[in-house]
Chain A
Amino acid sequence: MKRLKSFLFLLVILIVILFILDYFTTKKLYHVNTKQNWVLNLKNRNIDYVVVGSSKTESGIDVKEIQNLTGLKGINISISGIGIQEQYLLFSEFIQFNKTKTLLLMVDFTTLNPNEFSYPFHEYLYFHRMDNRNINSIIYENSSTKKYLIWKYLPFIRYAEYNSEFKQLIFNKQKLNIDSYGFLKPTEFIINDENHKKNVFDAKLHSIKNTIPGNGKIIIVKQAQDYFLKILDLCSTKNIEVILFSPAENTNASVKFEKKIRPQTRNYFKAISKKRKILYWDFTNSSFSLNPTNFTNDHVHLNPIGVKKFNPIIADSLTRYYGK
């Protein structure tokens, strides 16, 4: 009995300490420099369009530049390496506190198969917001129930599990590397550099080896498709017009990929756009994408020159769209 009492006493003290640690970590994490926090802290914006996507658009759509060209106000909430479930989370939270007329949703084969990303849903970056019902349910849907129960009901354990990641965030004093519109400037690239050639060449290998899953047959993960459709439904209820778009890519660097996966992806989104009566802009098929020499860092990411060339095309499309 004496041992039981000591054991329970230790347990109670430990739980109290964990609650205290949990409280302070939660508070601190609201202020760490992540783009996720930046997006979730955006309030009272009234804009023409919001860009949602992954790295291709985070560093491919320069909203400020487009504003200079068109006068349209926008914001880019794309984040590198995130899957459609995280895009849904960010967008659904964004429109709760902000107004937008249009959603510019980046689509490609990763939209339907986010497992192509090494870590498609960064649940730990939202742990401090688990009291938010929407975020909580998305975390629940994207993790094992066993883990979720521990994260939700045991204090501090969720932060302990990712302590290395949080250590980097909490002690990182560097500012976010994005402009006030959410655009991340792509890395400067010396054209004709050996590295560039190598990267494009490696990208070619990469696309042959890795990005043709399922023997060249497009993989559709049901949960991802559901999130994609949930975004469309959400826009429909909020009267937000949707434009699906596939950004420009280096199609030369992914010949086999182009032949096998891209047409299927294109057909899928074309069919959806037809069914839902929404626009689909496919820039992978544009003359820009077909002549991409020196415009990209690798097979999918535009370099600064590529961004400068691509953004007027987007601006032109938006002008025509708003002048409809």
Chain B
Amino acid sequence: MLFNSIDFLYFFVIVTIAFYALPHKFRWILLLFASCYFYMAFVPIYILILLGTIVIDYFAGIFIAKARVLSTKKLILIISIISNIGILCLFKYYNFFLENLIALLEGFDLNIEKPPYLNILLPIGLSFHTFQALSYTIEVYRGNQKPETHFGIYALYVLFYPQLVAGPIERPQNIIHQFHEEKKFDWINIIEGLKLIFWGLFKKIVIADRLSPFVNMVFENPNEWQGIPIILAIIFFSIQIYCDFSGYSDIAIGTAKTMGFDLMLNFNRPYLSKSLGEFWSKWHVSLSTWFRDYVYISLGGNRISRQRTYFNLLFIFILSGLWHGSNWTFIIWGIFHGCFLIIERIFSIEKYTNKTLPIFWFIYTFIIVSIGWVFFRAETISDALIIFKNAAILSKDKIGWYMFGNYKYELIVGLCAIMVLVFLEVKKTNNGIDVFKNLPKFIRIFVYILFLVLFLLFGAFHNSSEFIYFQF
């Protein structure tokens, strides 16, 4: 069930009304049932995989807390990690690993009997809920979180439908206690939640989905394009992926908010960053902090030698690339970011960013990130290289409306919406709409209505696409 579908509209309205209509003690049942239904709308059978890991991690949490010896705690934690990562590897990386192993062995003239490839769909959002489940057992192991004894509440922590398939990847300390608290009906939560949902839909439907046909046209046939169209497609993809994913996060946070739950902020105007380091503190925050808290710090963080820190940074970004997908393009994307972060650290970039105009550094960050996105978006590394090569072929006579194929209208709408987005982001609002909150009431209502009408007139509702991050 997609957030941008009619089905979700009905689902959301029914679940939210039922949530407030039920007494507190039954709400977890409603939310758990609704979350299972939401997940089963994709591939029903995969709910069993989730239930399997939920059972393992639920008992792992309890046993870790009960164990008196550190080595026992560690052993249980390792079992939990292996079972979660094992499932992730089986579904997501088995074919990739096999493919590369065979290629490697063939490279050494070693011919082995090829084991069969797995011909199965990746369970939707597997990488997200695996990491969320892991953060629970790790936090219980570290003593930062009490084990959840209520099985239903623990299952809800993993399955909570607003953030089940594409995050934000929550920490148990932030969300589990909220399931125990009684949520009173509050108009502020409803309105704030709806504002966020609307803002997320605006980013997804009016910007991302308007830009995507042109971006797809260029990235799917990189050989057929040169110069400006390719450069535009790269820029548009940077905006598309931001609006797509942050739009999803806003809808998720807004949906939870309408029921009184506070999820963590996942995007904080990342393209207004003066360095790549700052960018990563604002982009997909729940994943970046996950790697920071559970991997980077475990490897020694910043307390070790400079060379070792650089190595750890690179390692984290390779892992991050691999988390996104089982393809070399993602690994190269991770290496690219890791290397640039190391360069920024070597040259202590913060020394310069505060001395010059911020806009210069915003552009710098946007260019670097956009170059990285080429690897992320391209089907293969050779496609990415073709894109770079063809982007450099600039010719005056090749500039014109024809470049946009049948998508002129989509791009004009998308560009206008981008201007609105930039204006609102610069104004430092998190749901976009709050920028108007100091205006007189009638003008504010007029602006809201204008926004809603423009949204209906220019959104790409029919043939709307899936969220990009669903594939992870």
Contacts and interface: CB of A to CB of B under 8 A. Distances in A.
Contacts of A7: 187, 191
Contact of B409 (A18, A150, A156, A164): A164
A39 interface: no
Interface string A137-166: 000000010110010000011001111110
Interface stretch (B93-101, B135-143, B458-466): B458-466
Given A3-B191, A13-B445, A147-B6, A167 B409 contact: yes
Contacts of A147: 6
Interface stretch (B107-115, B145-153, B274-282, B449-457): B449-457
B7 A21 contact: no
A14 interface: yes
Contacts of A3: 187-188, 191
B396 interface: no
Interface in B169-183: none
Nearest to B186: A3
B456 A160 contact: yes
A178 interface: no
Given A147-B6, A161-B461, A17 B409 contact: no
A4 B191 CA distance: 9
A160 B6 contact: no
A150 B457 contact: no
B10 interface: yes
Contacts of B360: none
Contacts, number: 51
Interface in A100-129: 124
A167 B462 CA distance: 13
B303 interface: no
A162 B460 CA distance: 8
A163 B456 CA distance: 8
Given A4-B187, A156-B456, A146 B449 contact: no
A6 interface: yes
Best-buried of A18, A161, A162, A165 by chain B (most CB within 10 Å) = A161
A151 to B, nearest CB: 10
A14 B448 CA distance: 9
Interface string A223-241: 0000000000000000000
Contact of B449 (A13, A156, A165, A167): A13
Given A146-B6, A164-B409, A167-B409, A6 B445 contact: yes
B449 A17 contact: yes
Contacts of A21: 453
Interface size class of B (residues with CB under 8 A): 20 to 34
A163 B191 CA distance: 27
Contacts of B410: 164
Given A9-B445, A10-B448, A10-B449, A165 B6 contact: no
Interface in B414-472: 441, 445, 448-449, 452-453, 456-462
A17 B446 CA distance: 11
A17 B453 contact: yes
Contacts of A9: 445
Contacts of A10: 445, 448-449
A4 B189 CA distance: 12
A18 B462 CA distance: 19
Contacts of A165: 462
Contacts of B409: 164, 167
Contacts of A124: 462
Contacts of B441: 6
A17 B449 CA distance: 9
Contacts of A160: 456-457, 459, 461
A161 B460 CA distance: 7
B449 A163 contact: no
Contacts of B458: 163
A90 B6 CA distance: 28
Contacts of A157: 456
Interface in A163-181: 163-165, 167
Contacts of A156: 456
Contact of B10 (A146, A162, A163): A146
A147 B10 CA distance: 10
Nearest to B190: A7
Interface in B1-49: 6-7, 10
B305 to A, nearest CB: 56
A10 B448 CA distance: 8
Nearest to B5: A146
Contacts of A13: 445, 449
Contacts of B456: 18, 156-157, 160, 163
A262 to B, nearest CB: 33
Nearest to B464: A161
Contacts of A161: 461-462
Nearest to B10: A146
A176 to B, nearest CB: 21
Interface in A3-43: 3-4, 6-7, 9-10, 13-14, 17-18, 21
B7 A163 contact: no
A186 B6 CA distance: 39
B122 to A, nearest CB: 27
A161 B205 CA distance: 11
Nearest to A171: B409
A162 B452 contact: no
Interface in B337-359: none
Interface string A31-67: 0000000000000000000000000000000000000
B452 A14 contact: yes
A161 B457 CA distance: 9
Given A3-B188, A14-B449, 4 more contacts: A146-B7, A157-B456, A160-B459, A161-B462
30 contacts: A3-B188, A4-B187, A6-B441, A7-B187, A7-B191, A10-B448, A13-B445, A13-B449, A14-B449, A14-B453, A17-B449, A17-B453, A18-B453, A21-B453, A124-B462, A144-B6, A146-B6, A146-B7, A146-B10, A156-B456, A157-B456, A160-B457, A160-B459, A161-B461, A163-B456, A163-B457, A163-B458, A163-B461, A164-B409, A167-B409
Interface of B: 6-7, 10, 187-188, 191, 409-410, 441, 445, 448-449, 452-453, 456-462
| 9 tightest A-B CB contacts, nearest first | A160-B456, A161-B461, A3-B187, A162-B462, A10-B445, A161-B462, A146-B6, A14-B449, A147-B6
